[in-house]
A and B are shown apart, each in its own frame.
Chain A
């Protein structure tokens, strides 16, 4: 057996891959479910917090900034573990799936709130003044004038952050979520061969590459000449 053969036999063993492909695919489904839930709820919650913050109610803003800073500084894994092992002590026992969703959703909420907030504050003051001078209310100005401009600015950082956090679905393995990495590592220990891990890695690329490309497309699609 040549070195090259030994390498492919270890990492790209077709027999092992074929055998565990169904497991990896079921992991892909779980990862997609988890990722979609995290992205949708995390971004919506982040936007909601940023809008609340724009009302400039001081005690509320302290609270928002506090919550956001905590979730931005904690490692997502710690949040998952806290929710999964901590909540049962107050008689709430979320599944591993729900714990991972909640944890990553909260972390994405925190980062996207900061990104949306940066977008809102970067819109020139003159835009507010022009809109308000024509009689638009605060809410109408935010909705029709400021947000459309802010959202375009937020797309690149938001895409990056979203990809980084959805990849964190792999952390769900520690609380027994059967997503891609969980399936791959149990397949790896059952087969004594790391090929399923390669399969899992390929699945991540297949999943996230289109997201990266889509982010780039959205970025150019919504750019306007200043």
Chain B
């Protein structure tokens, strides 16, 4: 077993009176692809967002690549460079070209010169198959292309882990494939990935492990074949039955 790169223990998150995470533990090994499924409101996104401290857990511990993410002495901006994140709604900067979207953090956080950043940015756009769209603004790109630019923006910083928060949920069905293609290539390059998604086909042939979350806790986890074919818990079975019906 290769070394653990994400180590979250005893995560709790309260939003006012809402108890969204109820003591979640998650360990992810280097080069592993972990899939998180579960009904909406089950805490999947919150779990993901606690890992790069977009959300501060009410209790618990998060260590990513040896860095204590919740320690106030941690330089969080530096630490976040190692954790790429892709959002459901892409969140590209609408006033910038695709290339500038990718190079902003390279220049401002990683301290690269404009020439270096442009070269790295173009290389990242090549990896997501959008070399010819570098000068386009998000408004001129399809949803699938926007999401691939968002992936390029994250991988250009050479993160150790990539977090995907429902990356294909906002896409028209015919555009989903291109994004999954990029994720598959990323997976093959050895990237550690944590993916919140309901793309079962992708989970089946790319995931090492599937977690099923419900009501703020991990109900069960295991290899995709086991979770999808022979889930141990009734709740998992019901959920999987529901999403497969559609």
Contacts and interface: CB of A to CB of B under 8 A. Distances in A.
Contacts of B226: none
Contacts of B93: 127, 130-131, 145, 149
A136 B77 contact: yes
14 contacts: A126-B91, A129-B91, A130-B153, A133-B54, A133-B84, A134-B81, A135-B105, A135-B110, A136-B77, A140-B108, A144-B104, A224-B94, A224-B139, A225-B137
Interface string B78-91: 11110111010101
B139 A130 contact: no
Given A133-B83, A149-B95, A225-B139, A126 B89 contact: yes
A127 B91 contact: yes
A221 interface: no
Kindly state the interface size class of chain B when it binds its partner. 20 to 34
B109 to A, nearest CB: 4
A199 B164 CA distance: 66
Nearest to A146: B93
Interface string B149-175: 010011001000000000000000000
A152 B87 contact: no
Contacts of A126: 87, 89, 91
A137 B94 contact: no
B210 to A, nearest CB: 24
A125 to B, nearest CB: 9
Given A140-B108, A144-B104, A226-B139, A134 B153 contact: yes
A3 B18 CA distance: 79
Given A144-B104, A224-B139, A133 B52 contact: yes
Contacts of A66: none
Interface string B127-144: 000000000010110000
A19 interface: no
A1 interface: no
A124 interface: yes
Contacts of B78: 135
B91 A134 contact: no
Interface string B4-20: 00000000000000000
A206 B144 CA distance: 50
Given A144-B104, A226-B139, A133 B89 contact: no
A133 B139 CA distance: 22
A152 B94 CA distance: 12
Contacts of A225: 137, 139-140
Contacts of A135: 77-81, 105, 109-110, 157
Nearest to A151: B95
A132 B54 contact: yes
Q: Which 6 A-B pairs have the closest CB atoms?
A: A225-B139, A130-B91, A134-B105, A126-B91, A135-B109, A133-B85
B139 A124 contact: no
A144 B150 CA distance: 17
A148 B93 CA distance: 10
Given A129-B54, A130-B150, A225-B137, A136 B105 contact: yes
A152 B95 contact: yes
Contacts of A136: 77, 104-105, 108-109
Contacts of A140: 108-109
